[in-house]
């Protein structure tokens, strides 16, 4: 299999016009979205030499709740053989601090910034959205599928009717684009996607992390303080690809774009998600060991588009050939 992941020395800058596209009425310079929790509140990697927010189309800020949260007890992060378990528990300083203190420090000329809205009740979601609506934030991601908090999270994200109620309530208090983050830990992700779209979601993020745990055999205790956490990284890529493929038909019929995410570490990974139906691709865990991965992915995507004579990223989206399924 050919991998489109050229070294940085080969292509320093991917052709800008090729990678630009429109997402929910917003112009993105690249199909890459930096995922919530992986870059803090947009400043996490700014001190890494050579890193630039200009290499991505958007940055999703850390999950934010109405009031400050301390998060879960340690341990919160555990490396697995093909990924990472995390159970941070939505530690954050609260919406008011983010809006009044953090957002004014971000350079909105570099990229788009998306708030990640979290809560334990529908009323809390609404209040967080209301505060972000009165800010410079470009869009909001509704986090209804966080697997590492005991309240909210899974309770909302695994039940389509409840998911739709959250989306509808948020839609009522903002005109900004809403992106609903869907859980893979549910029976019918297609039905959840349909109901969220009908409730007012402008886009979907597919998928959130997969539930998992780790055990210390010596002590016979859970390693993660919360017992369970969200598994991310290459281990979940096949699951995420399938979920994007399953949701694509529903999203396409409603004219709603998808951010495909889960285990993307190379340009080849990103291309697979675009072919499956994602309009943009989320990068998260890979940033922890390669802060420059976005530039490499952009270069690889641009090289593929040129080789296969696609004018832009949008032309590649949803081009999966299922009529000739199987290995060639």
Contacts of residue 65, defined as CB under 8 A and 6 or more positions apart, other chains included, come to 90, 92, 94, 95, 118, 119, 120, 124, 128
User: Cβ(93)–Cβ(147) under 8 Å?
Assistant: no
Contacts of residue 85, defined as CB under 8 A and 6 or more positions apart, other chains included, come to 77, 78, 79, 212, 213, 214, 223, 224, 229, 230, 231
Catalytic residue, from 38, 146, 170, 196: name it: 146
* Backbone CA torsion sign across 193, 194, 198, 203: positive
Residue range 223-271, pLDDT digits in tens: 999 999 999 999 999 999 999 999 999 999 999 999 999 999 999 999 9
Which of 273, 257, 67, 61 has the alpha carbon at shortest distance from 177?
A: 257
Burial of 20 (0-12, 13-18, 19+ CB in 10 A): middle
d(CA 265, CA 57): 17
Residue range 270-284, pLDDT digits in tens: 999 999 999 999 999
pLDDT reported for residue 14: 55
d(CA 194, CA 188): 10
Active site residue 146: yes
Q: Is the pTM of this model over 0.85?
A: yes
Q: Would you say residue 123 has pLDDT above 80?
A: yes
d(CA 229, CA 209): 9
Q: Which two tokens stand for residue 44?
A: 């996490």
Domains in the chain, please, with CATH?
Answer: 16-71+89-213+231-307 (3.20.20.70)
52 C-beta neighbours (distance < 10 Å), count: 14
Q: Say whether 238 sits in a helix, a strand or coil.
A: helix
pLDDT reported for residue 11: 45
Residue range 40-66, pLDDT digits in tens: 998 877 778 888 888 999 999 999 999
CA angle 76, 132, 149 (to 5 degrees): 25
């Amino acid at each position: 299999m050919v991998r489109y992941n050229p070294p940085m020395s080969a292509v320093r800058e991917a052709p800008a016009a090729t990678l630009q596209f429109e997402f929910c009425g917003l112009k993105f310079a690249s199909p890459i979205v930096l995922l919530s929790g992986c870059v803090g509140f947009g400043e996490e990697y700014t001190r890494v030499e050579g890193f630039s927010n200009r290499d991505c189309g958007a940055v999703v800020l850390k999950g934010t709740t109405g009031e400050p949260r301390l998060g879960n007890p340690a341990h919160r992060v555990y490396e697995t053989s093909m990924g990472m378990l995390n159970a941070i528990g939505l530690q954050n300083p609260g919406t008011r601090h983010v809006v009044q203190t953090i957002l004014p420090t971000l350079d909105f000329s570099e990229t788009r910034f998306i708030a990640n809205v979290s809560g334990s009740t529908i009323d809390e979601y609404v209040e967080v959205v209301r505060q972000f609506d009165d800010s410079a934030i470009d869009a909001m991601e509704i986090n209804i599928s966080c697997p590492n908090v005991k309240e909210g999270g899974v309770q909302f994200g695994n039940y389509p009717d409840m998911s739709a109620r959250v989306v509808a309530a948020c839609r009522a208090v903002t005109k900004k684009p809403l992106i609903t983050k869907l859980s893979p830990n549910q029976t019918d992700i297609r039905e959840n996607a349909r109901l969220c779209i009908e409730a007012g979601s402008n886009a979907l993020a597919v998928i959130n992390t997969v539930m998992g745990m780790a055990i210390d055999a010596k002590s016979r205790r859970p390693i993660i303080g919360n017992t369970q956490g969200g598994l991310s990284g290459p281990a979940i890529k096949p699951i995420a690809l399938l979920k994007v493929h399953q949701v694509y038909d529903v999203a396409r019929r409603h004219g709603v774009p998808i951010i495909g995410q889960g285990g993307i570490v190379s340009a080849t990974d990103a291309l697979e998600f675009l072919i499956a139906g994602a309009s943009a691709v989320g990068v998260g865990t890979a940033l922890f060991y390669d802060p420059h991965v976005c530039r490499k992915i952009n270069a690889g995507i641009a090289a593929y588009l040129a080789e296969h004579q696609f004018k832009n990223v949008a032309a590649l989206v949803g081009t999966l050939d299922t009529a000739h399924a199987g290995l060639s």
